[in-house]
Amino acid sequence: MEKHLNLTLQVWRQKNAQDPGGFKNYEAKGISTEMSFLEMLDVVNEGIIKKGEAPITFDHDCREGICGACGMVINGRPHGLRERTTACQLHMRSFNDGDVITLEPWRASAFPVLRDLLVDRSSFDRIIAAGGFISAPTGSAQDANCLPIPKDNADRAMDAAACIGCGACVAACPNASAMLFVGAKVSHLGLLPQGQPERTSRALDMVAQMDAEGFGTCTNHGECEASCPKGISLDNIAMLNRDYLKASLTYRPEVESGGF
Amino acid sequence: MELKSNIPDGPLEQKWDKHRFDMKLVNPANKRKYKVIVVGSGLAGAAAAASMAELGYEVECFCYQDSPRRAHSIAAQGGINAAKNYRNDGDSIRRLFYDTIKGGDFRAREANVYRLAQVSVNIIDQCVAQGVPFAREYGGLLDNRSFGGAQVSRTFYAKGQTGQQLLIGAYQALERQIGLGKVKMHTRHEMQELIVVDGKARGIVTRDMVTGEIESHMADAVCLGTGGYGNAFYLATYAKGCNGTAIWRAYKKGAAFGNPCYTQIHPTCIPVTGDHQSKLTLMSESLRNDGRVWVPKKAEDCGKKPSEIKEEDRDYYLERKYPSFGNLAPRDISSRAAKQVCDAGLGVGPGGRGVYLDFQDAINRLGASTVAAKYGNLFEMYERITDDNPYKTPMRIYPAVHYTMGGLWVDYNLMSTIPGLFVLGEANFSDHGANRLGASALMQGLADGYFVIPYTIGNYLAGHKPDKMNADQPEAKAAAAAVQDRIGKLLAVNGKSTPTDFHRELGKVMWEHCGMARNEKGLEKALELIPEIKERFWKDVKVGGSGDELNQSLELAGRVADFIELGELMCMDALQRRESCGGHFREEWQEDGEAKRDDENFAHVAAWEYKGEGQKPVRHTEQLSFENVHLATRSYK
């Protein structure tokens, strides 16, 4: 049944990367329980714009939980309290009349705040560019059924590939580690025969980039899996560790010519 | 304006092969001297940018999102068609070609569609090589399913996330080229203007969405893969950021706009709950395989709980009207039927805009666990949004806008009427005619990006000397100044209504008069209302904040301003197309409630030419000739 809520929002406002930022309170009145969380923010923003002020800025796009654009810390939890849910798929019926809701951006040095709740996640793109791919230039592929893949491996690869790159894992981690994100990609590609030729360099290059971006290391808190809207498993971190260790032991640097 | 389709001569099956031989090539050592701009990083844009960089061109790619991986191709659920015939069930390139032409209600070019069917097989190979985890069988080979009413199993899929996986494949190929320094990626940049020098597309003006800086980027050719314009309806299954600005700016610089009125309305979406609604969510069409669609027979029952309405008081209207196809009637037919019953006051849920999709019979027949295995994730998604449990109470669904078949007019080489401006994927008027079949959008986006533009761009560039033109050109300066001026105007109005207020108002007009069913009176009414909205917008819009900062209110204002104008053109086109075809249903042209095409007068593409502010655009036509298929009437009774 539709109800209407009066809420108080404590929102992190920060004009740009240089601004120190701070919390500001907003009243959200008459919010329908049928609204999504982001629609509630839309309503608040319409009021702010009508006052001539800059609206609360946050990333969002598909609003159906698949693009990975949205993400904010809601009452201390990335994407809010509901499990396996992106902020855009959270609905106001999860809240009660009179609630005070605190909204913060992802907090990680590798995700600098650009404005309010919106952060720069381009470090994730650079990690992918460092090795999160299979080199298969357009046109070079053989027939798709030439290489059978055991169903189980294909399914596990799919589970890892379901990562939406939202960054909640980093925001939830006390070390701001990106190991779940990197592990998911290393698993996705490493479980497939097509991913084998670059498996060694992939693990090394992605981890090197992850370190260079300033992400922390994994100390097995498991907060990442708990806050992941797609339920990406910690097993992927185990696979990354295995691949990385193996790669570190077997890696041979490229030589100028010949080799042995 | 001359519309030269540049379709190669010769038999249908040999056109693309012959054309590939006839096209000029750029010497491998010279490719790096050419710069190509790609706007958009979805399936078409990312595939094009990666593939052209692999060939050796210098590529710059732009997207409005924070990462190229977020483009809305990612939200496609069902699958991608390819004429692989792995099922041995009689599929072939010719059959995929025929199904696509017929599905489009005979309003697409034969040669383009045939090429699409030809390269469909290469797409699957390419994606598998990239590591796209398509569904597989226990023997390790690829699985298929039938989709969208096709009589063969030709759809490849990755759970319900096919678009996501295909896009990640293209994104990773693109990131690889970025890492190699072959593609320069500009995220959070929105194209605001096209730069045309000496009649050729030579660059774009962008706004850096973080700093507000206006920048000019020059190149030897420009490719737009910027998606569709369904957000003109405000409520749609599109992402919130999807917009028509790039193609609209190109249209105003001389690119013809093809068939703007062709929009697809998907029958199974979650209904609107109130004015706060910001977007609509699609529920996969596959649900209609086991769900039965109904409404109460009597208006007084509409407020009751569905369980309180007796079997004999329910109208299973699709089964009644289309006994042979029943609940599986095609998208356009099912959508219109839902509208008709709701217009008759028999709709259910808030505002009476919904119909039931009931799984009770399927649960009784198959058991709840079998139904859960098939549709569990969709039921969960539905419950999350609506708080209703579809195992216990019927889903409520209603049609929503989710694709535009229209777009910028392009020739066989995907080049618009502006030389050097290429348009890919949903942004062009495409290969889908008046109606797109399920699982064909992903196919077309990737076909254009991976396997068409890498060839045809070479043919264009071979006849163009790379000159490293810089942004000091007067045309570039004028374009950048126009962008500054427009932003200044938007900020200066300082009225009372927000951009969203206007967007919502436009959407209501579009949905009412240019939606599932259209008629002359309604369209003429819309053509009075929309200019009035436009006038009010520029007098009363209120944009918060300033231009030299990250300002989402300003971004939206610019997009809404363009949607208002685009919406007007959609209505003009819908008014002029005096027939019913595919997604375009004109109430005056029907036979026993079904769409009635007029092949004699309307077997053509309508391409609109911009004539300047305040001037009426001019409608040109490209006659479609059908030499390989017979123009049949679609019937589903």
pLDDT over 80 at B637, yes or no: no
Counting residues of chain B whose pLDDT is more than 90, the rounded percentage is 88
- Hey, are the CB atoms on B542 and A49 less than 8 Å from each other? yes
The pLDDT of residue B373 is 75
Tell me whether residue B614 is exposed, middle or buried, using C-beta atoms within 10 angstroms of its C-beta: 0 to 12, 13 to 18, 19 or more.
exposed
Which of A50, A62, A95, A230 is most worth mutating to test chain B (most B CB atoms within 10 A of its CB)? A62
What is the pLDDT averaged over residues B172-181? 98
B331 part of the active site: yes
- Across B595-605, average pLDDT: 96
Summarize pLDDT for B384-423 with one digit per residue, the tens.
Answer: 899 999 999 999 999 999 999 999 999 999 999 999 999 9
Which residues pair with residue B191 across a beta bridge? B206
Asked if the B37-263+405-461 domain carries CATH number 2.70.70.10, the reply is no
All residues at 6 or more sequence positions from B300 whose CB lies less than 8 Å from its CB, including other chains: none
pLDDT tens, residue by residue, B99-140: 999 989 999 999 999 999 999 999 999 999 999 999 999 999
Model confidence pLDDT, tens digit, residues B282-303: 988 878 888 999 999 999 999 9
CB B46 within 8 A of CB B70: no
Higher pLDDT, B55 or A258: B55
> For residues B350 and B274, is the Cβ–Cβ distance under 8 A?
yes
pLDDT of residue B20: 97
Residue ranges of alpha helices (H) inside chain A are 37-50, 122-131, 151-161, 168-172, 179-190, 199-212, 223-227, 235-250
Q: Return the pLDDT at B430.
A: 84
- Report the pLDDT averaged over residues B172-195: 98
Q: What is the share, in percent, of chain B residues with pLDDT greater than 70?
A: 99
CATH code of domain B265-402? 3.90.700.10
Nearest CA in chain B to A45: B553
Instruction: State pLDDT tens for residues B216-267.
Output: 999 999 999 999 999 999 999 999 999 999 999 999 999 999 999 999 999 9
Q: Binning pLDDT at 50, 70 and 90, where does residue B377 land?
A: confident
Query: Among A49, A59, A136, whose Cβ lies nearest the Cβ of B130?
Result: A136
Contacts of B94 (CB under 8 A, 6+ apart): B117
The closest of B31, B71, B41 to B185, measured between CA atoms, is B41
Arithmetic mean of pLDDT, B22-36: 97
Residue B145: predicted pLDDT: 83
pLDDT at B184 over 80: yes
260 residues of chain A, pLDDT tens digit each = 789 999 999 999 999 999 999 999 999 999 999 999 999 999 999 999 999 889 999 999 999 999 999 999 999 999 999 999 999 999 999 999 999 999 999 999 999 999 999 999 999 999 999 999 999 999 999 999 999 999 999 999 999 999 999 999 999 999 999 999 999 999 999 999 999 999 999 999 999 999 999 999 999 999 999 999 999 999 999 999 999 999 999 988 777 665 45
Domain B474-604 indexed as CATH 2.60.120.280: no
Q: Give the separation between CA B473 and CA B218, rounded to whole angstroms.
A: 10
Catalytic residue among B107, B331, B336, B577: B331
In this prediction, residues B433-443 reach a mean pLDDT of 92
Contacts of B187 in chain A (CB under 8 A): 122, 125
pLDDT, one tens digit per residue, over A5-37 is 999 999 999 999 999 999 999 999 999 999 999
Which residues does chain A have within 8 Å of residue B72's beta carbon, measured at their own beta carbons? 61-62, 67
For residues B439-459, give the mean pLDDT: 97
Which positions in chain B touch A14 (Cβ < 8 Å)?
none
Which fold would CATH assign to domain A4-114? Ubiquitin-like (UB roll) (3.10.20)
Q: What is the pLDDT of residue B381?
A: 85
Q: Do residues B154 and B96 make contact, with C-beta atoms less than 8 angstroms apart?
A: yes
Q: Residues of A with CB below 8 A from B44's CB?
A: none
pLDDT of residue B324: 81
Give, rounded to a whole angstrom, the gap between the first and last alpha carbons of chain B: 42
Top residue of B123, B269, B553 to mutate, by most chain A CBs within 10 Å, is B553
Q: What does the pLDDT read at residue A67? A: 97
Smallest Cα–Cα separation from B453: which of B465, B442, B461? B461
What are the C-alpha distances in Å from B23 to residues B8, B13, B462, B463? Answer: 11, 17, 9, 11
ipTM value > 0.90:
yes
pLDDT-wise least confident of A26-30, B335-339, B355-359: B335-339
Locate the domains of chain B by residue range: 37-263+405-461, 265-402, 474-604
User: Is the four-CA dihedral B249, B250, B251, B253 of positive or negative sign?
Assistant: positive
Contacts A45 to B, Cβ<8 Å: 553
Q: What is the rounded CA–CA span in Å between residue B217 and residue B215?
A: 7
CB atoms within 10 A of CB B260: 32
Chain position carrying tokens 């659920």: B77
Q: B398, B354 in Cβ contact below 8 A?
A: yes
Delimiting residues of CATH 3.10.20.30 domain(s) in chain A: 4-114
CATH topology of domain A122-250: Fumarate Reductase Iron-sulfur Protein; Chain B, domain 2 (1.10.1060)
Using CB atoms, pick whichever of A2, A121, A140 lies closest to residue B66.
A121
Give the residue range(s) of CATH 1.10.1060.10 domains in chain A: 122-250
Q: How far is B387 from chain A, CA to nearest CA, in Å?
A: 9
Average pLDDT score over chain B: 95
Residues 6+ apart with CB under 8 A from B394: B294, B306, B356, B357, B358, B359, B360
Provide the pLDDT for residue A253.
Answer: 78
Q: Which of B395, B370, B368 has its CA nearest to residue B381?
A: B395
CA distance B313 to A128: 57
| Closest residue, chain B, to A65 (C-alpha) | B75
Contact A134 B131 (CB under 8 A): yes
Who contacts B432 (Cβ-Cβ below 8 Å, separation ≥6)? Answer: B100, B103, B104, B108, B262, B405, B440, B441, B444
Q: What span, in angstroms and rounded, lies between the C-alpha atoms of B173 and B167?
A: 10
Give the Cα separation of A44 and A56 in Å (integer). Answer: 8
Name the burial class of residue B583, with classes exposed (0-12), middle (13-18) and buried (19+) by CB atoms within 10 angstroms of its CB: buried
Task: Report pLDDT digits (tens) over B525-552.
Answer: 999 999 999 999 999 999 989 999 999 9
- Token pair recorded at residue B54: 């692999």
What band does B328 get if pLDDT is binned at 50, 70 and 90?
confident
